[in-house]
A and B are shown apart, each in its own frame.
Chain A
């Protein structure tokens, strides 16, 4: 996509492309940059735009997880075990005063289920920007303010459970907030590693061809032939034991991305191969550009959009891989909190039969994966110069 492939003759028939949005006779289109053209086309894809908003929303949660959570995600209490989500009442005698009722629970000796009864006398008001457990905003500023909370002041025992609690009595909403943070950031790091590896190796393979190409292609083939699970198991088990949860989690993302780069490499290689013979590349070389300059200044930008699209599509694969790894016990493990860990703790018959709210973490997984997919598709369609 060197110049916008539009004829300079304004009297010719309308061509496919941004012409549908902008009249081809407008001078704008001739001087519009590649990115602007992409943006105009992207805007048409309504669902992609909506997905972009959703994704932004998710990353806001990532930034503000502590703020959005209102209970310490590790605070356990047996008497709160397996509480169903609490119903929030928005109005109290006509006034806007969100509140929940306090709950008393006990184990039914006949059914062995934990039974909770709302106590109508104990009204617990919800406050916005209430005080709760202490944390550091952006990792720097110590504060106790959370988005919502019950009356009670800083450091008090949690009293609200919007999404219920798990077996240990820990609030699910708060755990979900922290889980979102970890699950979505794993994706980013892993995708970055995949990106770098894919572009570099795919580029080498496509640009130089020959021996380098054959070797890299064989490596890709071998890596793709080995079923991923044994590879994961082997690599995960080889991690040093005294690493902290954080270090293990980085290692896991790198492991996943070590397998994910092959797809990107093939795309990049294909593009390089096709582009090697293009006029603009040949002319760049003839003019005297160094190889590095040719590659990075001229060739790479022209398929940058494809890269972006492929990267965006790699993210949901990361998310799914993380949940699969947790299911197998290879990924993040408790006491870490991630979507995969939360789902793994819900993966049993008693949850499905008796405490189904514990399966709610599947919802953000589904939404995130769908959103990233639509976004990625939209980006790719927008980046494609021959699309309508």
Chain B
């Protein structure tokens, strides 16, 4: 077991390095660089960037150098714990991301909780009452989140929130609480802003979880011990909930590892539409602006989260299900 973890950990380091190279390359793939993106951005806002200024910027940001030089400069900083300066934000990358990280986690966790709260009961019901009307209805509800284009839904909910509830538009805090010190009122303000993102994001993930839950539970329900329990006279609810569900949750729990990157990045599109100050829109804007260090760091972070998450999931799986261990040999 320890050998297995050790081997995977080593592979993980290699994977992370490969991700760093790939992500840096991908960020550079679109034509132009930070300066061209900046010029176009200024132009959209009605300002002019002179050729001299463009030239000066390129020199000052070192953008004229070849990519691998820029990559090594960045890597040198990374191993020192310094992730570079964001050109767009003119602040260290760690500050820019750090500011948003905890909020991102809050939103993502809220969405995940909602997903599980919805998906587990629906999945269980769907497995137990397969092909019944209730099954179809419940699955319908579960799938609707997947089917509705969530960027449109987000905008519609924003607008309806304004029209009917005079709700503050988007974001996670009302302006008066944005910079205020922590208090009960501020926490309540944050909670008031969570429903819309949590609902939209939560619903989107239910379909997948319902499927997994249902499939696992169906597998369990066919096993002989269920028949035994029933024939022993246990009430149906206990039969199902006590044993099969718990076993069905096992492989399900290991998928928690895969949610790790999601928790850190949040959703990009919905967060953008709702104006949430999370890591997702930050990444998108950094990519568009070709703000190399910021985009590269976030992508690296997500990659690392994914690798850690996969590792955690696999370890959990191996721990729980001995058969899988054999597969790896």
Contacts and interface: CB of A to CB of B under 8 A. Distances in A.
A binds B: yes
Interface of A: 16, 44-47, 218, 221-222, 224-227, 229-231, 233-235, 237-238, 273, 316, 320, 323-324, 327-328, 343, 346-349, 352-353, 359, 362, 365-367, 369-370, 373-374, 377, 386-388
B157 to A, nearest CB: 10
B116 interface: no
A234 B29 contact: yes
Contacts, number: 130
Contact of B131 (A45, A231, A386): A45
B148 interface: yes
B295 interface: yes
Contact of A387 (B143, B149, B218, B299): B218
A47 B15 CA distance: 43
B261 A225 contact: yes
Given A362-B149, A362-B152, A365-B149, A227 B302 contact: yes
B254 interface: no
16 contacts: A221-B310, A222-B19, A225-B15, A225-B303, A225-B306, A226-B19, A323-B151, A327-B269, A343-B151, A346-B152, A349-B159, A362-B149, A367-B147, A370-B147, A373-B146, A373-B207
Contacts of B140: 370
Contacts of A352: 155-156, 159
B211 interface: yes
A343 B148 CA distance: 11
Contacts of B130: 388
B233 interface: no
Contacts of B287: 229-230, 233
A323 B11 CA distance: 36
Contacts of B14: 218
A238 B143 contact: no
A238 B269 contact: no
B31 interface: yes
A343 B136 contact: no
Contact of A347 (B148, B152, B211): B152
B27 interface: yes
Contact of A320 (B15, B149, B303): B149
A373 B143 contact: yes
B148 A366 contact: yes
Contacts of A233: 26, 29-30, 287-288
Contacts of B306: 221, 224-225
Nearest to B273: A347
B302 A225 contact: yes
B18 interface: yes
Given A45-B131, A230-B27, A238-B30, A225 B307 contact: yes
A234 B136 contact: no
A144 to B, nearest CB: 34
Interface string B29-40: 111000000000
A316 B146 contact: yes
A183 B287 CA distance: 26
B269 A328 contact: yes
Contacts of A16: 222
A383 to B, nearest CB: 13
A231 B22 CA distance: 10
B176 interface: no
Contact of A222 (B22, B156, B327): B22
Contacts of B159: 349, 352-353
Q: In this complex, which of A46, A324, A352, A374 has the most chain B Cβ atoms within 10 angstroms of its Cβ?
A: A352
Given A218-B14, A323-B151, A369-B147, 20 more contacts: A225-B19, A227-B268, A230-B27, A230-B299, A231-B26, A234-B27, A234-B29, A235-B29, A237-B29, A316-B146, A320-B149, A323-B149, A343-B151, A348-B155, A352-B156, A352-B159, A353-B159, A367-B147, A373-B147, A373-B207
A15 B98 CA distance: 59
Nearest to A344: B151
A320 B269 contact: no
Interface in B53-100: none
Given A273-B327, A370-B144, A226 B207 contact: no
Contacts of B284: 229, 328
A227 B26 CA distance: 11
A359 B299 CA distance: 33
Contacts of A328: 269, 284
Nearest to A241: B31
A221 B307 contact: yes
Nearest to A373: B143
Nearest to B31: A237
Nearest to B207: A373
Interface string B148-168: 110110011001000000000
Contacts of B261: 225, 227
Contacts of A353: 159
A357 B146 CA distance: 22
B145 to A, nearest CB: 10
